[in-house]
Structure 1
């Protein structure tokens, strides 16, 4: 019997959304190929879209993965990938990159209220994903004076250009802002893709938590590394696309965003220890200060094109 593409666990929460983080649970057992697209702001949306489009043009179509896990920026890109619209979005990004002000609809305002600054500071400085830490950030996010949740959904809806869940393979991560539980949103959840992606992308203090059934859900990056590789553990092969593994000497090394130094590397090693062969890729260089800067998008596009061309042959063999 072929593995189920949409995640089902033996003891789900009452609404079926809360999935405990557990690298030993075997959530990905039997899957031939998994794909993880991590978070990293507007800049990483552009990088991922360009990277995937360049691969697609060379005959490597990662939308065929048996499970696709998307978080924050990766939730947007994975949704577009599974809908078969990567080429369209890439073309739009190239045009919009020449007019950065138009890309600004996906970036937050730069003038923040005290309540927004408080939530952001708590998130950026958090070096662990303990339940108490995540709940405290969530409560600050719920109380932050952000733009409306409807505005975020509307903007993402315009980018995605579709509402229905494109594939049972698509799994978007989020975090319950009140309980701190990790949520996994799929075609079984019963919400639109723009709403699910808006929840997964709701950075505390920048964007508002979204209503998902009877929960308020925020950015999936608040669960440790934000990669959620346990959802792929046990798969035969996995392609992992992440912003950074924390080893770049030019980036802050003290941790933050609910992770400690070394967490991302340890999670990748745990994925490999589960028996999964891993292909991992990161951008050549990242400027954390410009992740939400529309003027940085052209650099992301050029970098991703170079890296994708260099990876085509290896990836074609890896996913075959």
Structure 2
């Protein structure tokens, strides 16, 4: 089904692994974090990968789908650090795209109004063909069927500004759900699913902790600084802190941020981001182990 945030859900003992957005850099870094934790604490890594709920936004939707596949974490990491890649360089000016967002956000209206305006940016900005972008997502995912587990992928309806959460019961192909979640406005084309068109779930929040409202605890991987702003909140760290459950957040450290470079969508940042993530994963493994104990 597609989950709506208005749905009431009871808090349980379930644990979530929440994977935030962050471009190609974020995919490499999150995979590296998990690989680094596995280096130092294999049981902890296995527990994370076996989390009851996986929530993926943008880059995080890719990683969530990848770790839900039969492919091992070791192989997924090697895919991030290998010489070959199907990623496209969008060739966009990050500052110009940011300016478009800020312009849409500066105009009067509530959150939905602002998201609809950003949706208009997504619909009207020239990009590569939708089919070309879908082929990239297909190549990213080692399996194209929904896994037999609770995987939740976020996207935004460009026309309504509504947050939609795709899962295995939604009647949507996994590739399309991930493509929708990764459709950065002004950079990649919105994704057509049925009669609707969707854009990046990270437009309104990079973490969407509320999607895991039925969980009692969550580990959150964020490929950004803990002081990074959030367009519609006081910041990602504050959003995580306000989550009504036990949380442990891993934010990118200085070495990882340096590896990302100035443009997290640039395919050249993939390998250094994955390697930096692995090193940071080794450093945080003990703390994550303690949280899960």
- TM-score, normalization by structure 2: 0.86
In 2: Cα distance, 1:178 partner to 1:289 partner: 31
Number of the residue aligned with 2:172 = 191
2:4 to 19, 25, 40: 19
Kindly tell me: are residues 190 and 56 of structure 1, through their superposed partners in 2, closer, same or farther at Cα, counting changes over 3 Å?
farther
User: What is the Cα deviation at residue 292 of structure 1?
Assistant: 1.6
Q: Is 2:273 aligned against 1:300?
A: yes
2:217 to 237, 248, 257: 237
Number of the residue aligned with 2:69 = 83
Number of the residue aligned with 1:12 = none
Alignment deviations for residues 74-123 of structure 1 (CA, whole Å, 9 cap, x no partner): 00001001114232221122122xxxxx44x42433167xxx99765322
Alignment deviations for residues 159-211 of structure 1 (CA, whole Å, 9 cap, x no partner): 21321001331100000011100000000111221111100000001111111
Q: Give yes or no for contact 1:172–1:196 (8 Å, CA) kept in 2.
A: yes
Q: Is 2:194 aligned against 1:218?
A: no
Between the two structures, name the one with larger relative contact order (CA 8 Å, sep ≥ 6): 2
Q: Give yes or no for contact 1:33–1:65 (8 Å, CA) kept in 2.
A: yes
Q: Secondary structure at the match of 2:2?
A: coil
In 2: Cα distance, 1:150 partner to 1:83 partner: 23
Q: Which structure 2 residue ranges, 5 or more long, are not aligned?
A: none
Q: Give yes or no for contact 1:209–1:218 (8 Å, CA) kept in 2.
A: yes
Number of the residue aligned with 1:121 = 99
1:40 to 18, 22, 32: 22
In 2: Cα distance, 1:234 partner to 1:199 partner: 24
Kindly tell me: are residues 46 and 126 of structure 1, through their superposed partners in 2, closer, same or farther at Cα, counting changes over 3 Å?
farther
1:135 to 97, 111, 116: 116
1:164 to 145, 148, 152: 145
Q: What CA RMSD, in Å, does the superposition of the two structures yield over aligned residues? A: 2.6
Alignment deviations for residues 22-73 of structure 1 (CA, whole Å, 9 cap, x no partner): 7xx7646104211110000101111111111232343122221111100000
Number of the residue aligned with 2:235 = 263
Number of the residue aligned with 1:151 = 132
Q: Give yes or no for contact 1:243–1:283 (8 Å, CA) kept in 2.
A: yes
Kindly tell me: are residues 119 and 27 of structure 1, through their superposed partners in 2, closer, same or farther at Cα, counting changes over 3 Å?
farther
In 2: Cα distance, 1:168 partner to 1:141 partner: 31
2:54 to 36, 50, 68: 68
Correspondence list, 1:85-104, <5 A: 85=71, 86-96=73-83, 102-103=84-85
Q: Secondary structure at the match of 1:106?
A: coil
User: What is the Cα deviation at residue 234 of structure 1?
Assistant: 5.1
Q: Give yes or no for contact 1:118–1:140 (8 Å, CA) kept in 2.
A: no
In 2: Cα distance, 1:126 partner to 1:180 partner: 13
